[in-house]
Amino acid sequence: MRRGEVLALSAGALWGTTGLFVRMIVKLGFTTADVAFLRMFFGALLAFSIIAVLRQSFSLPLWSWKYLLGTGILSLTLFNWSYFQAIKLTTLPIAVALLYTAPAFVVVLARIFYGERITLRKSIALILTLTGVLLVSGALRSFITGEEISWLGVLYGLLSAVGYGLYTIFAKPLSGHIPPERIAAFTFLIATIALVPISSVLAKPSIFFNTHVILLGFLFGAFSTALPYFLYTRALTFMEAGRAAIFTTMEPVVATLIGVFVLKEPFNLFEFLGITCIISAVILLSLSDKVSTPNIDN
């Protein structure tokens, strides 16, 4: 398995811990916008701290700002808020399934913006991935049993997928030109600022900065935010955007395992088949010999 594939897989695995942190923070009485703000705030704090420790420059070329506004506002702000809203209005399994329609958006957008070919191998892997996500998340089971679904929640879920997928599109031109730590730091900072008006941080600042919340926020920002975004942005320098996005679908696999072994949730045949489909897609993609990087005119 190549370096880029390992990096993307690792990022997806770390993102799989997101649901665990969200559940713990929501139980403390925070809104979905508050959770998104905490995630981006501590992610930015950690990212800038790492840059300072590494003694890297904080400067950015002027051409990069249009892409960073895309990763910060159109991607992470939209993704985090919409995803947490989808969880609130539907169920976590349905929200996860809708989120992981993102590779479909990435493959199409990467074709439009970067001319990446939609190969037969990539198409089969994409179908396997989406099938696996539907099985792992339980969305297919919900559809079969006729469980009622909030269409507004479905809309938020699809918006989260668009936001999730747009990170790959906007970050691709930056990767290889700007260190991943710097890309992540400014992306998180922009998203934090964008989330201030819709969160409670200005109205009730004291609830955000007690010891328990700070500890959770730090862990959330480190393991579910800063580190996986560093890894994923770095992965984009080694592989096509569409393939990288499909590799990150290890996230629902890890989320399912956390549910079973940490949260003691039941594990069924649907979830086993779904994990098998996703791992099969990853193996199929890893057999590809061609890895291309588009030429970016800065």
DSSP code per residue over 132-163: HHHHHHTHHHHHHHT----HHHHHHHHHHHHH
pLDDT digits (tens, 9 = 90+) for 78-129: 999 999 888 878 777 777 778 877 877 887 888 888 888 888 888 898 898 8
Instruction: Read off the pLDDT of residues 221-265 as tens digits, 9 standing for 90 and up.
Output: 999 999 998 899 889 888 887 788 788 878 888 888 887 788 777
Helix, strand, coil tally for the chain in percent (to 5): 75, 0, 25
Model pTM score: 0.80
